[in-house]
Structures are given as structure tokens and as C-alpha cells.
Amino acid sequence: MAPVPIIDYVVVHELVHMKIKNHTKEFWNAVKVIIPDYETKSRWLKENGYLLRL
């Protein structure tokens, strides 16, 4: 239900958690390597996530 770039962000976020179990700077740096504008996608999800219903 979310736009594909947001889904990509969520998938990368969760995959990085398989290696780094928390939200430290190391975690966000790893996400940023793959999704350089992850902050924009994270913000979109915080602002619009409530609209994503089954």
C-alpha cells in the first residue's frame, strides 16, 4: 500500500537490523549507504503510516 521507495526503505531498515540490533549511529550509517535519503522516507512513514491499512 505504500509507495515502492518507502517499501524499499522499510525492507532495508529491517535487513540492517539483522546485523545491527539497535538504532545507533552505526545502524543509520549502514542504512544510509543503501538509501542515502532515508530521512525523507522515514519522515514520510511517520507522517503517513497511519493511512496504510489492510
Tell me what pLDDT residue 53 has.
87
Say if residues 28 and 38 touch (Cβ distance below 8 Å): yes
| Max CA distance (Å), the chain | 33
Q: Is the pTM of this model over 0.85?
A: yes
What's the grid cell of residue 23? 538504532
Nearest alpha-carbon partner for 16 in 4, 28, 2, 5:
28
Q: 51 pLDDT band (50/70/90 cuts)?
A: very high
Q: 54 pLDDT band (50/70/90 cuts)?
A: confident
Tell me what pLDDT residue 44 has.
98
Locus of grid cell 521507495: 5
